[in-house]
Structure 1
Amino acid sequence: MTPLYARHKRSTLAIATAVAAGALLTTGLTTGTAAAAPTKADAATAARPAAAPTALSAATRVSLIKKAQADVAETAQKIGLGAKEKLVVKDVVKDADGTTHTRYERTYAGLPVLGGDLVVHTSKAGKTEGVTRAVKAAIKVASLKAQVSPVKAEKQAVSAAKTLGSTKSAADGARKVIWAGSGKPVLAYETIVGGLQDDGTPNQLHVITDAATGKKLFEYQGIENATGTGKTLYSGTVSLTTTLSGSTYQLYDTTRGGHKTYNLKHSSSSGTGTLFTDADNVWGTGAASSSTTDQTAAADAAYGAQETWDFYKATFGRSGIKNNGVGAYSRVHYGSSYVNAFWDDSCFCMTYGDGSGNTHPLTSLDVAGHEMSHGVTSNTAGLNYSGESGGLNEATSDIFGTGVEFYANNASDVGDYLIGEKIDINGDGSPLRYMDKPSKDGGSADYWSSSVGNLDVHYSSGVANHFFYLLSEGSGSKTINGVSYNSPTSNGSTVTGIGRAKALQIWYKALTTYFTSTTNYKSARTGTLSAAAALYGSGSTEYNAVAAAWSAVNVS
């Protein structure tokens, strides 16, 4: 599960997760030397470096995946895998210069290897140029016979889920795996427990248990969200792509992978709910309402989904969350006074609560961009939602959510580096997070330390958020779109930004071609440097800026 905010019972701090902010870039209101990120007007025409990913048609992508799958035995031999190991193709990214990056899952003696994912980088000429691995250790276990019964593993998993509020007495599923996510690979059980968490968020807890000792090795949540007129709460009056069925309009966007927006009517159902329909194709009133028939929250959610789709398409050539042209769906009015939003990869959907009193829906543009980006992360690097990799997962959604808002260029929600200021969960107008100095929220980390991985992932994300701000805008005091920032550095250095446009390209390339499920902050530095070198050249201004920004947040 990747809920939008840290839950109340785990922290006395105000709810905080991945939300970014802003959309309108007005040159006259911006000071500082860094270039701005692309907006709708120029994203489609902006030239991307030769090492940037190229847009692939659905047929081309399927063909590349099939070819890679046909060659897995040869690839496994080339990169030195053992006789019991096999590769399964997950995705293929192709750069404009012909370089391909093929992402694989791995099996050992037929068992899935969790933490065994890797990316093989191949030149246009077909030469293997490198491999990025989630784990460097050789995959080998002494025995495939478990010493602990699956019943014991299930009991442990159910107990762990109960601490989160689940009332389930049995697991939803279990399987034998090889766990390679934390050191020496071992035979293990992966057990999944469903139900609901204590705040009403769906539960999908994955517990990894050592099959020899019964020790819990790891756990994580699997939930990580015709042209009509939308009168939204947060983004003003916007255009929405809808579908006319008979004499009734549906909130169904066939131009963006078939995205639909559903009404859960304040239930916590795991189903889709009811598709929003309307007679005049005008959705919402621009004001919040606690009514279960309210369309305003639906208009915000639909607008956020279409802007996020367009941002990824125009900026990176990515067609949908899975890059396969298929849209997710959105659900609004989840639960009663539910102060959260979440992405669930199992339903491939985004879900939004209505907030306090059911009149503060968490459907702002930054929330939509954040949630959909969790899906992108899940279908690329698959960053584990725990420890430092969990912080990088959350920061990725903040980073791309920010990109979505600058791209949308919406006058009602101007671009900034404040996270979640529109939804006002704190009740005093303050944002949830600050990318220029994350610690201003009272819980997030400005800089890396050996204890960062022990923080809730919504707070350990501060290190990467701060890195991205410094890489984009640089250090020191400045005003951007009317918002004042003053970003410090851990080493007292002065960092010069390269602009959001380049910073976004570097992060996306690192996520899709160099990050793996176990990437930590040190590995993220390596991955982003590799991305910068591929995009702009080793030793380039951009490459040096990446190194300087990481050093400025104490990652070396």
Structure 2
Amino acid sequence: MSSSSSRRRTSHTTPRRAAGIALAGVAALIATAVQSGAASASPAQAPHSGKINPAHVAVKLTPSQRAELIRDADGAKARTAKDLGLGAQEKLVVKDVVKDADGTLHTRYERTYAGLPVLGGDLVVDTARSGQTERVLKATDATVKVASLTPKVSKATAEKQAVRRAEALGSKASADQSSRTVIWAASGKPVLAYETVIGGLQDDGTPNQLHVITDASTGKELFRYQGIETGVGNTQYSGQVPLTTTLSGSTYTLNDGSRGGHKTYNLNHGTSGTGTLFSQSSDTWGNGTTSNAATAGADAHYGAAVTWDFYKNTFGRSGIRNDGRAAYSRVHYGNSYVNAFWDDSCFCMTYGDGSGNADPLTSLDVAGHEMSHGVTSNTAGLNYSGESGGLNEATSDIFGTGVEFYANNSTDVGDYLIGEKIDINGDGTPLRYMDKPSKDGASADYWSSGVGNKDVHYSSGVANHFFYLLSEGSGAKVINGVSYNSPTSDGLPVTGIGRDKALQIWYRALTTKFTSTTNYAAARTGTLAAAGELYGTSSAEYKAVQDAWAAVSVGSRSGGGGGGTTFENSSDVQIPDYPGSAVTSSITVSGRSGNAPSNLQVSVDIVHTWSGDLQIDLVAPDGSTYRLKNSAYDPTPDVHATYTVNASSETANGTWKLRVQDLGAQDTGYIDDWKLTFP
């Protein structure tokens, strides 16, 4: 890459958290940037491998207890901001608090600067019972400061540009556009910007919430993402199920008072408003077919109830916001609408009736998927684009799958297939496969530098595959009558730890380790930290997380995996921007005999906002160098790769170095981790 500071580039890696969630056009039905202050595994060890360390389990808080913790954090937020070294114009806004059994608090904040929201400025502060700050996880490490708060581009100009962008992407209306002035910090140096939200409808009838971020000084589009996020579901396959309703006088309503007051409404083919609450004189709802409008209402009401119970009984979470309050459901949206979506703005789930209004998308994995989008929005807030968007979608697939298994419904048994009951393709195939995502023809089995450029419904395949491998392991097997055969990128086997443990690890990472800009490398870091806290860093569970990520090309195997020996350095080394000097990170190899192998594996994890800037070498103990990566034009962030080096002429023992130099201006980063594996 040229070292010229005048190069052009676009920021298409880390948006702000999404506002809502849907199924994206049928083919895609359900279809980063920098992770600063990356989480590290706790040194505390579990008493026995295979058992959760009770000290690191989140306690079940009542709504009033949670509210009190939030009030306490809010009262101390000014002091916290000072302790964190934030600037005079920066303020914290408390979003959520998670409390562990040992008294550790994980407080999630958003940030403002001069009263403006900082998109990409979110962070998590872990505080011990003693009050000592243990770690801080930030969505960005950049100093939040802008030269001027006076825009050079008018808000009207930004709105017109955003409307044109929405129209180019198929939006049918632009009357609902609105703009607000923000600080955009999610991709590099913070700048004054406008966030414009375009309403109306997308080309398939899904509500539109296109967020466009425009530089307020130059008018350049910095980022865009769709705020309505998409999901997948089954239709009318739950059989006869119990429903919790409310009787008032002689009228029953689909109002679940035992689960936060969840209500289910009939839109009657409308596309706006709440609709009409389902009510009738009998407490028997629907007849199992579309001839009765209440059938879809019963499916949605049941799915919401099971999802509520899954989160409560599996993780101790009380509702989507963990505040004991329910969302609500709307069914019969539009005409022949083959989709379903979660929308933060109404805090509700909405379901279409499918092609010809014959197959409402209202069942367990739909409800689980859609409500989980709400959980993600109210915890990590994973941005709905790039790698973080893939993680957002995968989180909904993962927990939707958990809901389906949790229900233990004999009519719709648990599986690792997404949308297997819908048959939208008309050929009897699922929409997605967690054991081998590429079987859908578009999803990624493994991580690659360009995976974040895929639609989020397909980049999610990396995390879905990881979760399957972590739960069930690789190879051929039959689960609940379904055959699976999961491959690995390195050809080495993975032994699963069971779905229950895998869910606990993912949930803890989501709620205490992930931020809005978390990418796949940071997800690996976060899940390892979660596994270390729950089961211990020397446990089989911790090693399985390492191996499952390595099997999808994110990071390296655990030491000794596949019969080899791994040496690692996980200390961060900052990489200065051009024209800075090269930096090195060292690993001392000992206990080996003879020379290094002809297939020495060098695994590199580097966080950097423009990977093409980087030139990377392996330096042997005698000073010989092996080029791993040349600098070249590549705007994608980060380097997560394993290189094979013929080092057979080198003595194995001694100090090996990873040498990295930034050869292009404007971007920075750091060596996060690297490993040498001797097969």
How much has 1:268 moved relative to structure 2?
1.4
* Per-residue CA distance 1:268-313 (angstroms, 9 max, x = gap): 12x1101111221101111233xxx511111110000000000000
Matched, 1:288 2:290: yes
User: What is the distance in 2 between the residues matched to 1:555 and 1:16?
Assistant: 26
Distance in 1 separating the partners of 2:85 and 2:57:
28
Shift of 1:2: 4.9
TM-score of the superposed pair, with normalisation by structure 2? 0.74
Q: Give the CA deviation at 1:144.
A: 1.1
Q: Distance in 2 between matches of 1:373 and 1:498?
A: 23
- CA drift at 1:467: 0.3
Which residue identity is paired with 2:467? F
**Aligned partners of 2:159 and 2:177 also within 8 Å:** no
Q: Does the 8 Å CA contact 1:157/1:171 hold for their aligned counterparts?
A: no
Structure-2 separation of matches of 1:394 and 1:49: 29
Q: How does 1:10-159 map to 2 (within 5 A)?
A: 14-17=27-30, 49-159=54-164
| In structure 1, C-alpha distance between the alignment counterparts of 2:54 and 2:461, rounded to whole Å | 29
CA distance in 2, matches of 1:204, 1:243: 34
Letter in structure 2 aligned against 1:349: C
Deviations 1:245-272 (A, max 9, x none): 2111101101111111111111212x11
**Which residues of 2 match residues 375-394 of structure 1 at below 5 A?**
375-394=374-393
Structure 1 segment 249-264 matched on structure 2, within 5 A: 249-264=252-267
Aligned to 1:25: none
Closer, same or farther in 2 for the Cα pair 1:65/1:2, shift >3 Å? closer
Distance 1:354 1:315 in 2: 31
How far apart are residue 54 of structure 1 and its match? 1.2
Range with greater deviation from structure 2 (158-167 or 476-485): 158-167
> Distance between the aligned counterparts of 2:155 and 2:314, measured in 1?
46
CA contact (8 A) 1:158 1:170 kept: no
Secondary structure of residue in 2 paired with 1:398: helix
How far apart, in 2, do the equivalents of 1:275 and 1:222 lie? 26
For structure 1, the residue ranges without an aligned partner over 5 or more in a row are 9-13, 19-45, 226-231
Aligned AA (1:16) = L
By how many angstroms is 1:193 displaced? 1.2
SS of the equivalent of 2:229 reads coil
Look up the equivalent residue of 1:539 and give its one-letter code. S
Matched with 1:476 is 475
State the structure with bigger RCO (CA 8 A, min sep 6), 1 or 2. Answer: 1
Deviation at 1:352, TM superposition (A): 0.3
- CA contact under 8 A between 1:475 and 1:487: conserved in structure 2? yes
How far 1:58 sits from its partner (Å)?
Answer: 1.0
CA contact (8 A) 2:52 2:535 kept: no
Give 4+ residue runs of structure 1 displaced > 4 Å after superposition: none
Q: Which amino acid aligns with 1:253?
A: D
Counterparts of 2:406 and 2:521, CA distance in 1: 30
User: Does structure 1 conserve the Cα–Cα contact (< 8 Å) formed by 2:120 and 2:139?
Assistant: yes
Q: Could you tell me which residue of structure 1 aligns to residue 510 of structure 2?
A: 511
CA apart distance, 1:222: 2.1
Do the aligned partners of 1:6 and 1:456 also contact (CA within 8 Å) in 2?
A: no
Alpha-carbon distance in structure 1 between the residues aligned to 2:94 and 2:462: 32
SS class of match (1:237): coil
- The separation in 1 between residues aligned to 2:284 and 2:85, in whole angstroms, is 59
* CA-CA distance at 1:138 after TM superposition: 1.1
Which residue number in structure 1 is paired with residue 416 of structure 2?
417
| Aligned pairs for 1:86-235 within 5 A | 86-224=91-229, 233-235=236-238
Contact (CA 8 Å) 1:2, 1:385: kept in 2 or not? Answer: no
2: CA distance, partners of 1:170 / 1:265:
24
Give distance in 2, aligned partners of 1:163 and 1:95. Answer: 48
* DSSP-derived class of the 1:315 partner: helix
Amino acid at match of 1:333: H
d(CA) in 1 for partners of 2:540, 2:419: 32
Secondary structure of 1:472's partner? helix
Could you tell me how far 1:170 is from its partner in structure 2? 4.3
Question: After superposition, what is the alpha-carbon deviation per residue over 1:372-418, rounded to whole angstroms, capped at 9, x for unaligned?
Answer: 00000000011111111100000000000011111111111111101
- Aligned-pair CA distance for 1:203: 0.8
Look up the SS of the partner of 1:425 in the other structure. Answer: coil
How far has the Cα of 1:48 moved from its partner? 7.4
Structure 2 residue runs of 5 or longer lacking an equivalent are: 1-18, 32-50, 556-679
Aligned counterpart, 1:396: 395
How far apart, CA to CA, are the structure 1 residues paired with 2:257 and 2:285?
17
Cα deviation for residue 166 of structure 1 reads: 2.6
**Distance across 2 between alignment mates of 1:171 and 1:211:** 21
CA–CA distance in structure 1, aligned partners of residues 484 and 454 of structure 2: 25
Cα distance in 2 for partners of 1:214, 1:180 equals 16
Q: Which amino acid aligns with 1:191?
A: T
1:136 Cα deviation from its structure 2 partner: 1.0
CA contact (8 A) 1:3 1:201 kept: no
In the alignment, which residue of structure 2 is the partner of 1:41? none
Amino acid of the residue matched to residue 239 of structure 1?
Answer: P
SS at match of 1:304: helix
Letter in 1 for 2:256: D
- The alpha-carbon distance between structure 1 residues 204 and 147, as it changes in their structure 2 partners (threshold 3 A), is same
State the alpha-carbon separation in 1 of the partners of residues 52 and 256 from structure 2.
28
Q: Which has the larger radius of gyration?
A: 2
Distance in structure 2 (CA, Å) of the matches to 1:76 and 1:64: 17
* Aligned positions, number: 514
- SS of 2:366's partner is helix
**Which runs of structure 2 are paired with 1:243-392 in the superposition (5 Å)?**
243-269=246-272, 271-289=273-291, 294-392=293-391
Inter-partner Cα distance in structure 2 for 1:247 and 1:123:
53
Contact map agreement 1:92 1:101 (CA 8 A) in 2: yes
